[in-house]
Structure 1
Amino acid sequence: MKAYVFPGQGAQFTGMGKDLYETSEVAKEMFEKANEILGFRITDIMFEGTEEQLKETKVTQPAVFLHSVIAAKVAENFAPDMVAGHSLGEFSALVANGALSFEDALKLVSQRALAMQKACEITPSTMAAVLNLEDKVVEDICASIDGVVVAANYNCPGQLVISGETKAVELACEKMKEAGAKRALILPVGGAFHSPMMEPAREELAAAIEATTFSTPTCPVYQNVTASAVSDPTEIKANLITQLTAPVKWTQSVQQMIADGATSFTEFGPGKVLMGLVGKIDKTVETIKG
């Protein structure tokens, strides 16, 4: 069975999507439609912008989404048996399996980016990558810290990202190193994604998601929140809302997809981050760049 996966924030690069725009009429139309919906020419920033411009949350999230969805749209023999996306990538996955229309998903991604940006400005917060520690050790250290710090991204065995108030994350990093972590490194992000710090953004996005029509998908989506196959539109909506304040269970999602019969993983969008993570989770499955 074929699993198709879609990356999240951090995969962006200058020039992303330009080849699609120049070689496919369908891609060009979709990019221009996106410029119209967003009210600014995101294509100019994607194709010619600086790294700094691409890093702005209001640009990054729609840019990664557009690259992923359009690459999938113009791919030959696009027929997933199951889909998943890492954080933001879940919206790309939901367009790929027909649960969301391209236009509605882009509007939600844009609203999500702005809501997250606002939430980041309320309290100083950050994220950190922790390498070579058991998940349980990371979780226990986070629970022992005074202040908000939680496990946010279960990326692959031995690679976990924590998220929360800046001081709490810094203190947790010290304790992780003492506990034997190879590295505990603060990440250059705007705030504490997938933590309780995102509650204001969750409330804002919940209203937008509730007002959007979701259809029954053509194949299940393995959602970050549950790490299990979901096909019911109501359930998909609820999980998408919870996702902002809950951890991304990527390791668990990939393991479940393999248990359910996935033999190959094709990554659509900028970069090859997910191919690398899938390879670390299970060396026996095939990884393909879409």
Structure 2
Amino acid sequence: MNGERKSAVVICPGRGTYNAAELGYLARHFPDAGLLARFDAIRGEGNQETLSALDGADRFSMAKHTRGDNASGLIFAASYGDFCVIDRDLVEIVAVSGNSMGWYTALACGGALSAENGFVVANTMGTLMQQSLIGGQLIYPWVDEDWVPNPARKAELLALVEEVGAREEVELYLSIDLGGMLVLAGNAAGLDAFEKAVEPVQGRFPMRLANHAAFHTPMQEPVAAQGRSRLDPGLFGQPGLPLIDGHGQIWWPGATDAEALYGYTLGAQVTQPYNLTRAITVAAREFAPDLFIILGPGTTLGGAVAQSLICADWRGMADKAGFQDLQAREPVLASMGMADQRELVSRG
């Protein structure tokens, strides 16, 4: 980027972004030892292994590090730490959004929750989901490898989801509208039926997501209810930055009903589809940022954000090559999980 201050929308990643390559991310990047110690103390009060111990492990364990009760806290802390080191002399943050559990991080980054209360919300909900572990998730694309939108294919797949989900003793739902991907969730019968009904594509789809439950579906009603019983509405306040939720609604500073925000976060956000594509579209059209900053950990969300912008016909991008061309000329995405892009927007 040149020396001019850029406007930016910040995107907070969700589950599945802290993997083997991210082990040690907090040790490398988290800027506030005191805050990390407070996060660790909160974990200790619940007899949970501290983030420092998990992040400092000798080796990454899929079984341990991707569990909801561990992954949610690790991802929240990594993302919030990255938010704290964005260089405000280079970047003016105009709005914040997130993908799935990244909504909890967005609430803290945007000021509707304090850092510690945001951690409590993310850690509590991740723990409740792990304890229940209702259903599972898989991911399947509706765009080709060149990221060219194919709305007819998307409609076809969503119709299949509806048809499969209507069968007796079968549950299948759209969980996340994720750029050019559909994240589906359901019970074992629903996921199996979908996998049998579609062609394998791009060498890896349909792909089951390890240690993921049927997030953002009616199957999570019991978890949402438990969350409301554990977490007090008084934790929530006015945001300091506009927040764009999983329906594409904007929660504005000074005009937000904190009780309604609590109700959405521990209600519809848990039990209804999360539309990241819509959130990114709203962010692009309402705020027209120079840049989208994707917080770490991980680097997997960049493709979904770029695909969402292509679907929105933003800056004339029509496919992967169009995005790559624009990104090479004037970066529109900065992924803080990548060292070279991190340097563009951060103090460290």
What is the TM-score of this pair, normalised by structure 1?
Answer: 0.89
Q: Which amino acid aligns with 1:216?
A: Q
Aligned residue in 2 for 1:201: 223
- Alignment match of 2:233 (pick from 206, 211, 222): 211
Secondary structure of 2:198's aligned partner: helix
Provide the rounded CA distance (Å) in 1 between the counterparts of 2:98 and 2:38: 23
Aligned residue in 1 for 2:84: 73
User: Residue 58 and residue 264 in structure 1: after superposition, are their counterparts in 2 closer, same or farther (change >3 A)?
Assistant: same
User: Residue 152 and residue 31 in structure 1: after superposition, are their counterparts in 2 closer, same or farther (change >3 A)?
Assistant: same
Q: Which amino acid aligns with 1:257?
A: A
Are the counterparts in 1 of residues 69 and 128 from structure 2 also a CA contact under 8 Å?
A: no
Q: 1:210 Cα shift?
A: 4.1
Q: 1:5 Cα shift?
A: 0.8
Provide the rounded CA distance (Å) in 1 between the counterparts of 2:67 and 2:174: 24
Aligned residue in 2 for 1:115: 128
Aligned sequence identity (%): 17
Are residue 234 (structure 1) and residue 234 (structure 2) matched? no
Are the counterparts in 2 of residues 209 and 237 from structure 1 also a CA contact under 8 Å?
A: no
Which range moved further: 232-241 or 247-256?
A: 232-241
- Alignment match of 1:16 (pick from 21, 25, 38): 25
Aligned residue in 2 for 1:126: 136
Q: 1:178 Cα shift?
A: 9.2
Segments ≥4 residues shifted beyond 6 Å: none
Secondary structure of 1:150's aligned partner: strand
Are residue 82 (structure 1) and residue 95 (structure 2) matched? yes
- Alignment match of 1:151 (pick from 161, 174, 191): 174
Are the counterparts in 1 of residues 219 and 271 from structure 2 also a CA contact under 8 Å?
A: yes
Aligned residue in 1 for 2:303: 276
Q: 1:276 Cα shift?
A: 2.2
Provide the rounded CA distance (Å) in 2 between the counterparts of 1:289 and 1:190: 24
Are residue 172 (structure 1) and residue 190 (structure 2) matched? no
- Which one has the largest radius of gyration? 2
Are residue 2 (structure 1) and residue 15 (structure 2) matched? no
Q: 1:126 Cα shift?
A: 1.6
Provide the rounded CA distance (Å) in 2 between the counterparts of 1:50 and 1:253: 32
Aligned length: 281
Secondary structure of 1:81's aligned partner: strand
Provide the rounded CA distance (Å) in 1 between the counterparts of 2:204 and 2:16: 22
Are residue 188 (structure 1) and residue 210 (structure 2) matched? yes
Are residue 286 (structure 1) and residue 292 (structure 2) matched? no
- Alignment match of 1:42 (pick from 31, 38, 51): 51
Which string of whole-angstrom CA distances, capped at 9 and with x for unpartnered residues, describes residues 49-104 of structure 1? 52232112111000000011112123321641000011111111111111101111
User: Residue 173 and residue 99 in structure 1: after superposition, are their counterparts in 2 closer, same or farther (change >3 A)?
Assistant: same
Aligned residue in 1 for 2:154: 135
Are the counterparts in 2 of residues 127 and 186 from structure 1 also a CA contact under 8 Å?
A: yes
What is the TM-score of this pair, normalised by structure 2?
Answer: 0.75
Provide the rounded CA distance (Å) in 2 between the counterparts of 1:138 and 1:243: 23
Provide the rounded CA distance (Å) in 2 between the counterparts of 1:201 and 1:246: 13
Are the counterparts in 1 of residues 244 and 279 from structure 2 also a CA contact under 8 Å?
A: yes
Which range moved further: 133-142 or 242-251?
A: 133-142
Are the counterparts in 1 of residues 302 and 333 from structure 2 also a CA contact under 8 Å?
A: yes
Aligned residue in 1 for 2:105: 92
Are the counterparts in 1 of residues 139 and 184 from structure 2 also a CA contact under 8 Å?
A: yes
Are the counterparts in 2 of residues 141 and 176 from structure 1 also a CA contact under 8 Å?
A: no
Q: 1:117 Cα shift?
A: 1.4
Are the counterparts in 1 of residues 80 and 105 from structure 2 also a CA contact under 8 Å?
A: yes
Secondary structure of 1:269's aligned partner: coil
Secondary structure of 1:83's aligned partner: strand
Secondary structure of 2:37's aligned partner: helix
User: Residue 192 and residue 16 in structure 1: after superposition, are their counterparts in 2 closer, same or farther (change >3 A)?
Assistant: same
Secondary structure of 2:274's aligned partner: coil
Q: 1:247 Cα shift?
A: 1.3
Q: Which amino acid aligns with 1:269?
A: G
Q: 1:236 Cα shift?
A: 2.1
Which string of whole-angstrom CA distances, capped at 9 and with x for unpartnered residues, describes residues 191-240 of structure 1? 2122222111011112334433212112211101x112123123322221
Are the counterparts in 2 of residues 265 and 275 from structure 1 also a CA contact under 8 Å?
A: no
Secondary structure of 2:271's aligned partner: coil
Q: 1:275 Cα shift?
A: 2.2
Are the counterparts in 2 of residues 132 and 183 from structure 1 also a CA contact under 8 Å?
A: no
